[in-house]
């Protein structure tokens, strides 16, 4: 099956810092999503971004489908950004998403 690798696995930031999270995938996809899991376990969709660039407030994401990677940018980080960030992809003709192992982000005040 498709492989999804996320880096770094862990990240500690001071409040106000910027960060970039990376997701590499091993095959062509028609669906790529970024999720944030809060400390209570709830997963929230951040972006649907199979290609191109999107921005939502302090967060933005870019996917370069031809090179099989996606980046999630977090600017001016806040303590509420803490949690685990997952990248998930779906290949054409498949119904289910395959998840990476996540990046655990801790933002310290």
Q: Does 97 bind another protein (CB under 8 A)?
A: yes
Residue of the chain from 17, 43, 59, 71 that contacts another protein (CB under 8 A): 43
From first CA to last CA, the distance across the chain in angstroms is 40
Q: How many residues bind another protein (CB under 8 A)?
A: 23
Pairing of strands 10-14, 103-108: parallel
User: Is the CB of residue 89 less than 8 Å from the CB of residue 29?
Assistant: yes
**For the window 67-96, what string marks contact with another protein as x by the rule CB under 8 A?**
-------------------x-x-x----xx
Q: Which of 48, 51, 52, 108 binds another protein (CB under 8 A)?
A: 48
Nearest approach in angstroms of CB 76 to another protein is 26
Coil, strand or helix at 76: coil
Whether 100 contacts 5, CB under 8 Å: yes
- Rounded Cα distance between 44 and 35, Å, is 5
Using CB under 8 A as the binding rule, whether residue 1 contacts another protein is answered as yes
Q: Which two tokens stand for residue 39?
A: 């400390």
Name the residues that contact another protein, by CB under 8 A.
1, 4, 6, 9, 31, 33, 40-43, 45, 48, 86, 88, 90, 95-102
């Amino acid at each position: 099956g498709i492989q999804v690798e996320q880096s770094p696995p862990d990240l500690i930031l001071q409040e106000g810092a910027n960060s970039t999270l990376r997701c590499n995938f091993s095959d062509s996809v028609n669906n790529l999503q970024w999720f944030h899991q809060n400390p209570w376990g709830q997963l929230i969709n951040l972006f649907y971004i199979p290609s191109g660039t999107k921005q939502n407030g302090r967060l933005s994401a870019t996917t370069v489908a031809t090179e099989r990677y996606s980046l999630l940018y977090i600017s001016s980080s806040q303590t509420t950004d803490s949690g685990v960030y997952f990248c998930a992809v779906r290949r054409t003709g498949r119904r289910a998403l395959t998840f990476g192992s996540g990046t655990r982000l801790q933002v310290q005040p």
